[in-house]
């Protein structure tokens, strides 16, 4: 049976609908940066998703070809994730999506090195004849965060975020969104196949202890 990160690391991918505090270790990702409204037809965001999955599946299916990754085991590609921010703001303004900046990401298994990633970029470029130069190997340690499972449309996220921030304050923490720590979403549902009211999204915010 293929290793499933969602099932094996439920504390990261399957939190409760009540907020909790979690420490997120260093992880490696396939990542693409962009700006603008993610809902626009030809948006940077929609383009980034295609690039990410092309590389993710090139790595996942590598065992069927001549290139062998040391320590490889069969696994389910982890869910799509995203860091989101707007210049000069700590809170997300959902009414001005055109001002979004994002890093769209998919987690890499720990056995995938930068060398393996570079091979996947070359392999996908050769096979698909697409420019993958904007795709990067990102190492990121998120650290201490508050998180919660959000059920519903993305535009309804502020309700869940309010619960998270109240919980955070009551437990002696303060929000720590900075130029390097971001509003984080992990997408467990495909919006093309799921009613908006049933979408499952992990929302995560960086925090620190109150001084």
Measured distance CA(13)–CA(200) in Å, rounded: 10
pLDDT in tens, 113-164: 999 999 999 999 999 999 999 999 999 999 999 999 999 999 999 999 999 9
Percentage of residues of the chain with pLDDT beyond 70:
100
Tell me whether residue 49 is exposed, middle or buried, using C-beta atoms within 10 angstroms of its C-beta: 0 to 12, 13 to 18, 19 or more.
middle
What tokens does 199 get?
């979408």
CA–centroid distance for 17 within its chain:
19
Write the CB contacts of 9 (distance below 8 Å, at least 6 apart in sequence): none
97 pLDDT tier (thresholds 50, 70, 90)? very high
Lookup: tokens for 24? 């997120």
* Helix and strand totals (H; E) in the chain: 5, 9
- In this prediction, residue 167 carries a pLDDT of 98
């Amino acid at each position: 049976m293929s290793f499933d990160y969602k099932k094996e690391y439920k504390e990261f991918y399957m939190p409760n609908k009540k907020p909790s505090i979690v420490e997120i270790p260093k992880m490696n990702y396939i990542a693409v940066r962009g700006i603008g409204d993610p809902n626009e037809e030809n948006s940077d965001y929609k383009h980034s998703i295609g690039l990410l999955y092309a590389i993710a599946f090139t790595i996942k299916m590598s065992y069927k070809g001549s290139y062998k990754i040391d320590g490889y085991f069969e696994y389910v590609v982890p869910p799509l994730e995203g860091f989101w921010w707007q210049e000069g703001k700590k809170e997300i303004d959902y009414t001005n999506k055109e001002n979004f900046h994002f890093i769209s990401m998919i987690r890499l298994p720990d056995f995938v090195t930068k060398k393996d990633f570079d091979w996947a970029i070359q392999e996908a470029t050769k096979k698909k004849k697409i420019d993958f130069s904007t795709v990067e190997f990102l190492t990121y340690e998120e650290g201490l965060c508050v998180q919660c499972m959000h059920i519903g449309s993305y535009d309804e996220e502020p309700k869940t975020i309010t619960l998270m921030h109240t919980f955070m304050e009551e437990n002696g923490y303060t929000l720590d969104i900075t130029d390097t720590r971001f509003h984080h979403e992990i997408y467990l549902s495909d919006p093309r196949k799921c009613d908006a009211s049933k979408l499952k999204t992990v929302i995560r915010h960086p925090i620190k202890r109150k001084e």
